[in-house]
């Protein structure tokens, strides 16, 4: 669970609360002492190393083909390719390149975007089924905050409610 601290503006880190087995916590502390790192540094390094070993299919730019193609990459590379401090941009990239990683809330948001003509560049899936040709990412960014309010208002709806800007 992450906690947002009020009045901190654009923070560079997030606070995360974890429940750890006491033995694992002690192990982390010993690693931190040996490497002369903070506990946070140890955990961050371990997660990055772990992500290097996880492979996933993603739709990313290929320098040889000069276009986006589906390819197998590590989760660390995928993160480096799509991470953005702009939530709307990061969401758009996630649903273009690795939609299989979207959680329920993100899938519902994607369905709402597709149900809302204000975001369309072209009718979704009209010709070539290229997602990046369907949705106007600039309109998504422009209406992002309003869209999130809309999602919160309709979170209990059993059907997708299209978004219309006010």
- Cβ partners under 8 Å of residue 69, min gap 6: 59, 60, 62
Query: What whole-number distance in Å separates Cα of residue 107 and Cα of residue 124?
Result: 16
- pLDDT value of residue 129: 55
Residue 146 CA, distance from chain mean position: 19
Residue 10 has pLDDT above 80, yes or no: no
Query: What whole-number distance in Å separates Cα of residue 90 and Cα of residue 164?
Result: 22
The phi and psi torsions of 141 (rounded to 5 degrees) equal: -65, -40
Query: What whole-number distance in Å separates Cα of residue 124 and Cα of residue 137?
Result: 13
- pLDDT value of residue 35: 96
pLDDT band at residue 132 using 50, 70 and 90 as cut-offs: low
Q: What is the pLDDT of residues 84-107, one digit of tens each?
A: 999 999 999 998 999 999 999 999
Q: What is the pLDDT of residues 17-67, one digit of tens each?
A: 999 999 999 999 999 999 999 999 999 999 999 999 999 999 998 999 988
Query: What whole-number distance in Å separates Cα of residue 147 and Cα of residue 122?
Result: 20
- Quote the mean pLDDT of the chain: 89
Radius of gyration of the chain (CA): 20
15 against 50, higher pLDDT: 50
């Amino acid at each position: 669970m992450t906690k947002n601290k009020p009045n901190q503006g654009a923070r560079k880190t997030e606070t995360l609360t974890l429940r750890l087995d006491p033995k694992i916590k002690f192990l982390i502390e010993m690693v931190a002492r040996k490497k002369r790192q903070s506990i946070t540094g140890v955990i961050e390094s371990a997660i990055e190393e772990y992500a290097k070993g996880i492979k996933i299919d993603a739709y990313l730019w290929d320098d040889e083909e000069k276009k986006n193609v589906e390819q197998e990459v590590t989760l660390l590379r995928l993160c480096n390719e799509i991470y953005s401090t702009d939530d709307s941009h990061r969401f758009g990239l996630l649903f273009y390149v690795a939609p299989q990683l979207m959680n329920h809330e993100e899938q519902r948001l994607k369905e709402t975007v597709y149900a809302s003509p204000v975001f369309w560049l072209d009718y979704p899936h009209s010709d070539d089924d290229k997602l990046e040709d369907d949705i106007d990412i600039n309109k998504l960014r422009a209406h992002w905050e309003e869209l999130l309010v809309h999602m919160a208002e309709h979170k209990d709806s059993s059907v997708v409610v299209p978004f219309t800007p006010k």
